Amino acid sequence: MRIEDFSYDLPPDRIAENPVEPRDTSRMLVCSRSDPGLLIHARVLDLPCFLRSGDVLVCNDTKVRPWRLLGRRSSGGRVECLILRLEGEIGEGFLRPSRRLREGEVLWMEDRLELEILASLGRGRHRFRLRPPPGLEAETCLEVLGRAPLPPYLSKDRGEEDVERDRDRYQTIFAKRPGAVAAPTAGLHFTERLCRKLAEAGIDRLSVTLHVGEGTFEPILVDRVEDHRMHAEEYDLPEETARRLHEVRSAGGRVFCVGTTSARVLETCFDPSTKRLRPGRGTTDLFLRPGRPPRFLDGMLTNFHLPKSSLLLLLASILGRERLLSLYCVAIDKGYRFYSFGDAMLILP
């Protein structure tokens, strides 16, 4: 498969720069895996109408770390850092723009932190030392000074009011376990109001964890899809969640994943020989794509994703390439909002 076959044209005004409020009023394009003729325009708040009592939603409870910093070089040039991991004062992350940055150079971040470049790791990624003010720890400073790690297409030219609000808006209401460098965006649509409506309809919610890392949002740079390799990301499937999911299945309920990250956890833990989930923690580099579809989930709530991305390929593994791209054309024509702060798609069985 050629990655160019998974591209599409998106007008710039279809990219959502901010989420709608309340979050559950986002639009929702409803389709079906088994019925190509089903196409309904709804709202996320209508989700209980499309599910049945006894169904379950699987949500990702990862929490986004505010590990994005803005700063400047000694020359005055602007620079941005997205920290991927940090141990003490030593970290790794992406620096932009990365051209002409050199080992030993010191950057001044958020007017409070010194960042010394230790080594270039290629493709904009660097190892560095982050020096906090005396008496403070680097990670503590990040929690106070850091910004929401918005995708590059959202992080430009945002006002101070947006910067402050983004730390809350780029976080799901399920967020409990810190570790992600990007939000599991399908979960951004949920509100306490929607969760109450789901509970009243007899629809349960269960949690898994996948700490979203560079593997989820890194672009596919190879020509052949099969040559792409995902970065490993940490996951946790609790034993109680696995047990409840099998009980739901045994009682005739259906399993819906909230987002691609939850789907990757279940598929990583699914044992095809026993048809059961293996609970536990680990890392996964699972790449779901046409020819390797999910085998456990029944349906999914997801956002509209970037062209030629691993997330788009995952959806194509469920719906097929031509059908998925035709649905995206409908969404564009009908004015749906795309990407992280955009609208949703519900895929029914």
Same domain? For 304 and 321 the reply is yes
- 73 and 59, same structural domain? no
Range of the domain at 247: 3-64+171-348
Decide if 158 is inside a domain. Answer: no
Residue 167 structure tokens: 């730390």
Instruction: Give yes or no for a contact between 266 and 208, defined as CB atoms under 8 angstroms apart.
Output: yes
State the Cα torsion 8-172-34-25 to the nearest 10°.
Answer: -80
Q: Can you tell me the distance from the alpha carbon of 111 to that of 292, in angstroms, rounded to the nearest whole number?
A: 47
Distance from the Cα of residue 138 to its chain's centroid: 25
- Indicate whether 166 belongs to any domain: no
204 and 311 fall within a common domain: yes
20 and 98: one domain? Answer: no
Provide the H-helix boundaries in the chain: 47-50, 138-145, 160-169, 192-200, 214-217, 239-250, 260-269, 310-319, 321-333
47/72 same-domain check? no
* CA-wise closest residue to 187 among 65, 66, 23, 45: 23
- Residue 326 domain flag: yes
The residue out of 112, 146, 180 marking a domain boundary is 146
Q: What are phi and psi of 34, to 5 degrees?
A: -100, -15
Domain-embedded: residue 198: yes
> Which pLDDT score is estimated for 231?
87
For residue 162, the model assigns a pLDDT of 72
pLDDT at 100: 87
What's residue 215's pLDDT?
A: 65
pLDDT at 156: 63
Mark the ranges of the chain whose per-residue pLDDT is less than 70.
Answer: 155-161, 215-217
In this structure, are 186 and 304 located in the same domain? yes
- With beta carbons less than 8 A apart as the criterion, state whether 204 and 247 touch: no
With beta carbons less than 8 A apart as the criterion, state whether 337 and 303 touch.
Answer: no
The answer to whether residues 194 and 52 belong to one domain is yes
- Note the pLDDT of residue 217: 63
Q: Please report whether residue 156 resides in a domain.
A: no
Do residues 269 and 323 share a domain? yes
Domain check: are 128 and 182 in the same one?
Answer: no
Residues 181/67, Cβ–Cβ less than 8 Å: yes
The whole-angstrom separation of Cα 344 and Cα 185 is 9
Domain count across the chain: 2
Sequence-separated (6 or more) residues with CB below 8 Å from residue 238: 207, 208, 279
Residue that the structure tokens 């996964």 belong to? 284
User: Do residue 89 and residue 50 come from a single domain?
Assistant: no
In a domain, 232, yes or no: yes
Q: Is residue 161 domain-resident? A: no
* End-to-end Cα distance, the chain: 26
- Do residues 136 and 180 both lie within one domain? no
Q: For position 267, which CATH number holds?
A: 3.40.1780.10
